[in-house]
Structure 1
């Protein structure tokens, strides 16, 4: 959605800052602030559509780097942490699903309309669910921290335990991003209209 290199860089920097602040805070201060990572990847796909070759890998690298710094500062080896397993690397696909959802919305939306809101809700729900199934499933099936025997029944129960909190958190951040987007579009229109009336 950003049209100039300066806009793209500014949006990327803001999203990267939000993710770093909330991802670090979450790990260090016991969930006082919700992790914005999922929302950041969806919004980045929307606002930075067409920049996936550099923006997505950089955001992904940032997420891993933040996790590494936080875990090692706790005095734990990165590879020994509860959340790090072979399934950890499936976060690339999980976050990619969010990016694709945001990018799809950016391509198909037609401005600030009720139909766009419906499309946004649908895109967010589909990409959130894909992200959740990939991230939760890869951890459950591949992590040694999940005791055997593993079963689909136990996995579905685990899916249900964490499903709503993850979706609600992402929806809050994406909703805030949506409000900022509408305000930015309206301000741009007012500025353009004001410039036209002065000529």
Structure 2
């Protein structure tokens, strides 16, 4: 949605900063702040549509780097941490599903209308469900930290335990991003209108 390279870089920097500040919550804020990563990838796909070749890999690299630094700061080897397993690398397609959802929405939205709002909610729900299924499923099935025997019944319980909190967190950040988007769009219209009158 950003039209100039300067706007894209500014949006990218802001999103990267939000993700870095909230992703380090394990050591800095003691769980008082929610991780914005999922919302950041969805919003980045929307606002930075067409820049996936550089923006998505950089955001992924940032996510891994922050995780590495936080885990190392705890005095734990990265690969020994509970959350890191072979399934960790499935965060790439998981976050990719959020990026693709945001990008698809940017292509198909019709401005600030109720139909766009409905479409945004539907796309966010589908994208977040795909992300959650990939990330939760890969951790459950591939992590040695999940005790055997593993079963679809046990996975469905685990899936259900965490799904709504992840959805709520993602929706909160995307909702805040949507409010900023509406505000920026309205300010741009007012500014353009005043320039036309002069």
Aligned residue pairs total: 198
Contact 2:26 2:70 in 1 (8 A): no
SS in 1 for 2:24: helix
SS in 2 for 1:76: coil
Give 1:37's aligned residue.
37
Cα shift readout 1:1-49 (whole Å, capped 9, x = no counterpart): 0000000000000000000000012444331000000000000000000
Contact 1:12 1:44 in 2 (8 A): yes
Cα shift readout 1:163-195 (whole Å, capped 9, x = no counterpart): 000000000000000000000000000000000
Q: Return 5+ residue gaps in structure 1 as ranges.
A: none
What is the rounded CA distance, in whole Å, between the counterparts of 1:190 and 1:27 in structure 2?
A: 43
What is the rounded CA distance, in whole Å, between the counterparts of 1:23 and 1:121 in structure 2?
A: 24
Q: Map residues 1-199 of structure 1 onto 2, 5 A cutoff.
A: 1-198=1-198
Tell me how large the CA RMSD over aligned residues is: 0.6
Runs of 4+ aligned residues of structure 1 deviating over 6 Å after TM superposition are: none
Q: Return 5+ residue gaps in structure 2 as ranges.
A: none
Contact 1:28 1:70 in 2 (8 A): no
Contact 1:79 1:85 in 2 (8 A): yes
What is the rounded CA distance, in whole Å, between the counterparts of 2:27 and 2:187 in structure 1?
A: 36
Cα shift readout 1:61-89 (whole Å, capped 9, x = no counterpart): 00000000000010000000000000000
What is the rounded CA distance, in whole Å, between the counterparts of 1:54 and 1:70 in structure 2?
A: 24
Which TM-score applies when normalising by structure 1? 0.98
Cα shift readout 1:86-105 (whole Å, capped 9, x = no counterpart): 00000000000000000000
What is the rounded CA distance, in whole Å, between the counterparts of 1:27 and 1:132 in structure 2?
A: 23
Which TM-score applies when normalising by structure 2? 0.99
SS in 2 for 1:164: helix
What is the rounded CA distance, in whole Å, between the counterparts of 1:189 and 1:153 in structure 2?
A: 52
